[in-house]
Amino acid sequence: MARPAAVSPCPSCGDLAGRGYPGCRFCAELVDQYWLFDWQELLAAEQLAEGGAGERELAELVLADEVGRHPWTCTDWAMTLVPCSECGAEPGAGPLDCVRCAAAEELRWSWDHAAYPDTMTAGEHALRVARAVLRAPHRRRPAVVRAWRLLLPFLLVGELPTVGQVQRIRAHVLAGGYADLAACTSHVELTGLPELPWRRSARVEHQPKAQRDQDAAGHALQRPAHPRPGQPAADPV
Ligand SMILES: [Zn+2]
Ligand SMILES: [Zn+2]
Protein backbone atom coordinates (compact mmCIF):
# COMPACT_ATOMS: atom_id res chain seq x y z
CA MET A 1 0.00 0.00 0.00
CA ALA A 2 1.47 3.32 -1.10
CA ARG A 3 1.49 6.04 1.51
CA PRO A 4 1.77 9.73 0.69
CA ALA A 5 5.47 10.57 0.25
CA ALA A 6 5.29 13.85 2.13
CA VAL A 7 2.93 15.80 4.34
CA SER A 8 1.12 18.48 2.35
CA PRO A 9 -1.91 20.73 2.79
CA CYS A 10 -5.30 19.24 1.95
CA PRO A 11 -6.72 20.95 -1.15
CA SER A 12 -10.18 20.72 0.35
CA CYS A 13 -9.94 21.81 4.01
CA GLY A 14 -6.53 23.53 3.88
CA ASP A 15 -5.22 21.74 6.96
CA LEU A 16 -2.38 19.23 6.67
CA ALA A 17 -3.82 16.34 4.70
CA GLY A 18 -5.42 13.78 6.99
CA ARG A 19 -6.07 16.21 9.82
CA GLY A 20 -9.63 16.86 8.67
CA TYR A 21 -10.51 13.18 9.21
CA PRO A 22 -13.27 12.11 8.95
CA GLY A 23 -15.28 15.29 8.29
CA CYS A 24 -13.30 16.42 5.24
CA ARG A 25 -13.90 14.11 2.32
CA PHE A 26 -10.41 14.44 0.87
CA CYS A 27 -8.77 13.78 4.25
CA ALA A 28 -11.12 10.85 4.82
CA GLU A 29 -10.20 9.26 1.48
CA LEU A 30 -6.50 9.78 2.08
CA VAL A 31 -6.63 8.06 5.46
CA ASP A 32 -9.16 5.37 4.62
CA GLN A 33 -7.43 4.25 1.41
CA TYR A 34 -4.93 2.42 3.60
CA TRP A 35 -7.79 0.31 5.00
CA LEU A 36 -9.86 0.16 1.82
CA PHE A 37 -6.95 -1.29 -0.17
CA ASP A 38 -6.88 -4.39 2.06
CA TRP A 39 -10.66 -4.63 2.10
CA GLN A 40 -10.80 -4.52 -1.70
CA GLU A 41 -8.23 -7.31 -1.86
CA LEU A 42 -10.38 -9.42 0.41
CA LEU A 43 -13.47 -8.65 -1.68
CA ALA A 44 -11.61 -9.62 -4.84
CA ALA A 45 -10.44 -12.87 -3.25
CA GLU A 46 -14.07 -13.66 -2.42
CA GLN A 47 -15.15 -12.54 -5.92
CA LEU A 48 -17.41 -9.87 -4.45
CA ALA A 49 -17.92 -6.29 -5.61
CA GLU A 50 -17.68 -3.22 -3.41
CA GLY A 51 -21.15 -2.08 -2.43
CA GLY A 52 -22.62 -5.20 -3.99
CA ALA A 53 -24.66 -7.95 -2.46
CA GLY A 54 -22.51 -10.07 -0.24
CA GLU A 55 -20.25 -7.30 1.01
CA ARG A 56 -22.12 -6.91 4.26
CA GLU A 57 -22.29 -10.67 4.75
CA LEU A 58 -18.52 -10.79 4.28
CA ALA A 59 -18.13 -8.02 6.85
CA GLU A 60 -20.24 -9.98 9.32
CA LEU A 61 -18.11 -13.07 8.73
CA VAL A 62 -14.90 -11.10 9.26
CA LEU A 63 -16.20 -9.70 12.55
CA ALA A 64 -17.35 -13.12 13.73
CA ASP A 65 -14.03 -14.75 12.82
CA GLU A 66 -11.18 -15.39 15.20
CA VAL A 67 -9.11 -12.30 16.02
CA GLY A 68 -6.06 -12.13 13.79
CA ARG A 69 -7.53 -14.29 11.02
CA HIS A 70 -8.00 -11.22 8.80
CA PRO A 71 -5.84 -8.09 8.61
CA TRP A 72 -6.70 -5.47 11.25
CA THR A 73 -7.51 -3.09 8.41
CA CYS A 74 -10.25 -5.48 7.28
CA THR A 75 -11.63 -5.80 10.81
CA ASP A 76 -11.83 -2.00 11.01
CA TRP A 77 -13.43 -1.73 7.59
CA ALA A 78 -15.96 -4.43 8.39
CA MET A 79 -16.91 -2.39 11.46
CA THR A 80 -17.92 0.48 9.19
CA LEU A 81 -20.27 -1.84 7.29
CA VAL A 82 -22.09 -3.59 10.12
CA PRO A 83 -23.84 -1.22 12.54
CA CYS A 84 -24.01 -1.93 16.28
CA SER A 85 -27.06 -4.06 16.94
CA GLU A 86 -27.74 -2.13 20.13
CA CYS A 87 -27.33 1.56 19.23
CA GLY A 88 -27.09 1.53 15.42
CA ALA A 89 -23.76 3.43 15.35
CA GLU A 90 -20.50 2.07 14.01
CA PRO A 91 -19.52 -0.62 16.54
CA GLY A 92 -17.23 0.93 19.15
CA ALA A 93 -18.27 4.45 18.15
CA GLY A 94 -21.70 4.70 19.76
CA PRO A 95 -22.67 6.31 23.07
CA LEU A 96 -20.43 5.58 26.06
CA ASP A 97 -23.13 3.54 27.79
CA CYS A 98 -23.66 1.13 24.88
CA VAL A 99 -22.49 -2.25 26.16
CA ARG A 100 -22.16 -3.75 22.70
CA CYS A 101 -19.97 -0.88 21.55
CA ALA A 102 -17.75 -1.44 24.58
CA ALA A 103 -17.47 -5.12 23.67
CA ALA A 104 -16.70 -4.32 20.02
CA GLU A 105 -14.02 -1.88 21.13
CA GLU A 106 -12.41 -4.46 23.39
CA LEU A 107 -12.43 -7.08 20.64
CA ARG A 108 -10.91 -4.66 18.16
CA TRP A 109 -7.89 -3.95 20.37
CA SER A 110 -7.36 -7.60 21.14
CA TRP A 111 -6.02 -7.75 17.58
CA ASP A 112 -3.22 -5.39 18.57
CA HIS A 113 -2.56 -7.30 21.79
CA ALA A 114 -2.14 -10.50 19.82
CA ALA A 115 -0.23 -9.05 16.91
CA TYR A 116 2.13 -6.53 18.43
CA PRO A 117 5.06 -6.39 17.88
CA ASP A 118 5.47 -9.36 15.54
CA THR A 119 2.84 -8.90 12.86
CA MET A 120 1.87 -5.30 13.54
CA THR A 121 4.31 -2.44 13.66
CA ALA A 122 4.14 0.34 16.24
CA GLY A 123 3.40 2.71 13.36
CA GLU A 124 0.41 0.65 12.27
CA HIS A 125 -0.86 0.50 15.85
CA ALA A 126 -0.58 4.29 16.13
CA LEU A 127 -2.37 4.79 12.82
CA ARG A 128 -5.14 2.44 13.90
CA VAL A 129 -5.56 4.18 17.23
CA ALA A 130 -5.61 7.64 15.61
CA ARG A 131 -8.31 6.67 13.13
CA ALA A 132 -10.45 4.97 15.78
CA VAL A 133 -10.15 7.94 18.15
CA LEU A 134 -11.12 10.43 15.44
CA ARG A 135 -14.11 8.31 14.40
CA ALA A 136 -15.45 8.37 17.97
CA PRO A 137 -14.15 11.61 19.50
CA HIS A 138 -16.90 11.71 22.14
CA ARG A 139 -15.41 8.59 23.72
CA ARG A 140 -12.06 10.23 24.53
CA ARG A 141 -10.80 13.29 26.33
CA PRO A 142 -10.69 16.32 24.00
CA ALA A 143 -6.92 16.75 24.40
CA VAL A 144 -6.38 13.11 23.42
CA VAL A 145 -8.48 13.56 20.30
CA ARG A 146 -6.70 16.76 19.34
CA ALA A 147 -3.25 15.26 19.85
CA TRP A 148 -4.08 12.40 17.46
CA ARG A 149 -5.57 14.89 15.01
CA LEU A 150 -2.31 16.85 15.07
CA LEU A 151 -0.24 13.70 14.58
CA LEU A 152 -2.30 11.91 11.93
CA PRO A 153 -0.79 13.63 8.83
CA PHE A 154 2.66 12.55 10.03
CA LEU A 155 1.60 9.00 10.93
CA LEU A 156 0.35 8.68 7.34
CA VAL A 157 3.84 9.22 5.95
CA GLY A 158 5.36 6.74 8.40
CA GLU A 159 6.49 8.98 11.27
CA LEU A 160 6.12 7.58 14.78
CA PRO A 161 6.11 9.65 17.96
CA THR A 162 7.29 8.22 21.27
CA VAL A 163 4.86 7.98 24.20
CA GLY A 164 6.65 10.94 25.79
CA GLN A 165 6.20 13.05 22.66
CA VAL A 166 2.48 12.26 22.51
CA GLN A 167 2.15 13.25 26.16
CA ARG A 168 4.01 16.50 25.52
CA ILE A 169 1.74 17.37 22.61
CA ARG A 170 -1.29 16.73 24.84
CA ALA A 171 0.15 18.97 27.54
CA HIS A 172 0.56 21.77 24.99
CA VAL A 173 -3.00 21.24 23.77
CA LEU A 174 -4.27 21.48 27.36
CA ALA A 175 -2.26 24.67 27.77
CA GLY A 176 -4.15 26.20 24.82
CA GLY A 177 -1.41 25.65 22.25
CA TYR A 178 -3.41 23.83 19.56
CA ALA A 179 -3.09 26.60 16.97
CA ASP A 180 0.69 26.79 17.44
CA LEU A 181 0.97 23.02 17.19
CA ALA A 182 -1.22 22.96 14.09
CA ALA A 183 1.15 25.45 12.45
CA CYS A 184 4.07 23.01 12.71
CA THR A 185 4.81 21.67 9.25
CA SER A 186 7.16 18.85 10.22
CA HIS A 187 7.03 15.94 12.64
CA VAL A 188 10.34 17.09 14.15
CA GLU A 189 8.84 20.50 14.87
CA LEU A 190 5.59 19.11 16.28
CA THR A 191 7.26 16.55 18.53
CA GLY A 192 10.22 18.70 19.47
CA LEU A 193 8.38 21.25 21.58
CA PRO A 194 9.79 21.99 25.01
CA GLU A 195 8.41 20.23 28.07
CA LEU A 196 5.69 22.12 29.94
CA PRO A 197 5.39 22.12 33.71
CA TRP A 198 2.86 19.45 34.76
CA ARG A 199 -0.64 20.91 34.63
CA ARG A 200 -2.58 18.49 36.74
CA SER A 201 -5.11 21.09 37.89
CA ALA A 202 -5.95 22.07 34.33
CA ARG A 203 -6.50 18.46 33.38
CA VAL A 204 -8.80 17.77 36.31
CA GLU A 205 -10.79 20.96 35.90
CA HIS A 206 -11.59 20.27 32.28
CA GLN A 207 -12.65 16.66 32.57
CA PRO A 208 -15.95 15.35 33.85
CA LYS A 209 -15.24 12.39 36.13
CA ALA A 210 -17.14 9.79 34.14
CA GLN A 211 -15.12 10.58 31.06
CA ARG A 212 -11.82 10.28 32.95
CA ASP A 213 -12.78 6.84 34.19
CA GLN A 214 -13.82 5.70 30.75
CA ASP A 215 -10.59 6.97 29.37
CA ALA A 216 -8.53 5.08 31.89
CA ALA A 217 -10.27 1.88 30.84
CA GLY A 218 -9.73 2.63 27.17
CA HIS A 219 -6.06 3.18 27.83
CA ALA A 220 -5.57 -0.24 29.31
CA LEU A 221 -7.31 -1.86 26.34
CA GLN A 222 -5.22 -0.17 23.74
CA ARG A 223 -1.79 -0.62 25.21
CA PRO A 224 0.14 -3.25 23.28
CA ALA A 225 0.55 -6.33 25.46
CA HIS A 226 4.32 -6.63 25.26
CA PRO A 227 5.97 -3.41 24.17
CA ARG A 228 9.69 -3.85 23.72
CA PRO A 229 11.75 -1.73 26.07
CA GLY A 230 13.07 1.33 24.31
CA GLN A 231 10.89 0.85 21.27
CA PRO A 232 8.81 3.82 20.28
CA ALA A 233 5.16 3.18 20.88
CA ALA A 234 2.08 5.28 20.83
CA ASP A 235 -0.81 5.02 23.20
CA PRO A 236 -4.03 6.92 22.85
CA VAL A 237 -4.01 8.39 26.32
ZN1 LIG B 1 -9.03 17.89 4.30
ZN1 LIG C 1 -23.48 0.52 20.20
Mean pLDDT of 73-88: 96
Each residue's pLDDT tens digit, 123-174: 999 999 999 999 999 999 999 999 999 999 999 999 999 999 999 999 999 9
- Measured in Å, residue 29 CA sits from the centre of ligand 1 at 9
Question: Would the pLDDT of 84 be above 80?
Answer: yes
Q: Is residue 232 part of a domain?
A: no
Measure the CA–CA gap between 222 and 62, rounded to whole angstroms.
Answer: 21
Q: Which ligand is nearest to the CA of 31?
A: 1
User: 3-class DSSP state for residue 9?
Assistant: strand
Q: Whose atoms come closest to the Cα of 20: which ligand?
A: 1
- Of residues 228 and 165, more confidence is placed in 165
Give me the percent of the chain exceeding a pLDDT of 70: 81
The domain total for the chain is: 1
**Residue 116's pLDDT is what?**
66
Ligand nearest to the CA of 91: 2
For residue 226, the CA-to-ligand 1 centroid distance in Å is 35
Residue 19 domain-assigned? no
Distance 70 CA to ligand 2 centre (A): 23
* 212 inside domain: yes
Please give the distance, rounded to the nearest whole angstrom, from the Cα atom of residue 103 to the centre of ligand 1: 31
| Distance from residue 95's CA to the centre of ligand 2 (Å) | 7
Evaluate whether residue 235 is within a structural domain: no
Distance from residue 139's CA to the centre of ligand 2 (Å): 12
- pLDDT at 1 (0 to 100): 56
Res. 65: pLDDT tops 60: yes
CA distances from 121 to 159, 183, 195, 234 (A): 12, 28, 27, 11
pLDDT surpassing 90 at residue 20? yes
CA of 190 to the centre of ligand 2 (A): 35
CA of 83 to the centre of ligand 2 (A): 8
Domain assignment present for residue 169? The answer is: yes
228 Cα–ligand 2 center, Å: 34
User: pLDDT tens digits, residue range 162-203?
Assistant: 999 999 999 999 999 999 999 999 999 999 988 877 655 444
CA of 198 to the centre of ligand 1 (A): 33
Predicted pLDDT of residue 237:
40
* Residue-level pLDDT at 193: 85
pLDDT at 207 over 70: no
Average pLDDT over residues 210-232: 38
Distance 200 CA to ligand 2 centre (A): 32
Residue 17 lies in a domain: no
Neighbour count for residue 229 (Cβ, 10 Å): 4
Closest listed ligand to the CA of 25: 1
Q: How far apart are CA 186 and CA 17, in angstroms?
A: 13
**Ligand nearest to the Cα of 28, by number:** 1
By the 8 A CB rule, do 114 and 126 touch? no
Q: Is 80 exceeded by the pLDDT of residue 13?
A: yes
Domain ranges, residue 29: 25-221
Shortest-distance ligand to the CA of residue 21: 1
CA dihedral 146, 151, 156, 160 (to 10 degrees): -140
Distance 53 CA to ligand 1 centre (A): 31
In the chain, where does DSSP find H-type helix? Answer: 25-45, 55-64, 72-81, 99-115, 122-135, 142-156, 163-174, 178-182, 187-191, 200-206, 209-222
- One-letter amino acid at 102 equals A
The verdict on residue 234 lying in a domain is no
User: Of the ligands numbered here, which is closest to the C-alpha atom of 153?
Assistant: 1
